[in-house]
Amino acid sequence: MNIFKFILNILLAIVFLLLMDPRSFYGLSFHEWAGLIIVLFFFLHKFVNWTWIKKVTLSFLRRVPGKARLNYILDILLLIGLTLITLSGIAISRTIDFSWLNLGGSHGFWRVMHTSSSLLVLALFGIHLGLHWRWVLQRLNFKKQKNG
């Protein structure tokens, strides 16, 4: 399971970086489709870590280590950021027709929202990875497993 999580996380990081510039990799069409698909993979990422989410949610207001609490808050911020990226991406999409959704707002507003939220989420992802760096090293066998 850990290997699956690890590969999933690496893929998410690579695709997210490719999505940071719509022109870098096969143009806007790839950007929009991959952007939609990656949302499903983020949900998969949450699903495979559901036990942790459940535990921290249930004991968040009681005795939870500070780091777990920080991770939890960061995850919520990431979720909000990703929701904003997705919504604004849908609103300004050009190769996929989402006009039937009638999200309202001006194109310029959604563009700024898309750019700003994606940049903020990139920073949050960096922080998220930094907080899980020991887990990454454990997967790479650079550090001994915590439980033997």
Partner 1 sequence: MVKKISIIILVAVVLTTGYLSLRKLNYWNRSVMVFKINSSEQSFQGRGGRGFGEFEGRETGVGRPEFREGMQRPGRMNMPDSLRRRSDGRGQRNFNRMRSGPDSLATGRPLRDTTFSARGDFGERMRGGVPNRGRDFRQGKAVNLNLVIYYLAVFALFTLIMIYLEKGYRLVFKKGNKFQENSDLII
List of residues contacting partner 1 (CB under 8 A): 13, 17-18, 20-29, 49, 52, 55-56, 59, 64-68, 71, 92, 94-95, 106-109, 111-113, 115-117, 119-120, 122-123, 125-127, 129-133, 135
Q: How far is the CB of 43 from partner 1 (least distance, A)?
A: 18
Q: Which of 46, 108, 52 is nearest to 82 (CA)?
A: 46
Closer CB to partner 1, residue 13 or residue 44? 13
Q: How far is the CB of 39 from partner 1 (least distance, A)?
A: 19
Closer CB to partner 1, residue 8 or residue 64? 64
Q: Which whole-number Å values give the CA distances from 138 to 6, 26, 92, 133, in the listed order?
A: 10, 34, 41, 9
Q: How far is the CB of 128 from partner 1 (least distance, A)?
A: 8
Q: What is the largest CA-CA distance in the chain?
A: 55
Q: Which of 128, 117, 45, 37 is nearest to 81 (CA)?
A: 117
Q: How far is the CB of 40 from partner 1 (least distance, A)?
A: 22
- CB count within 10 Å of CB 81 equals 20
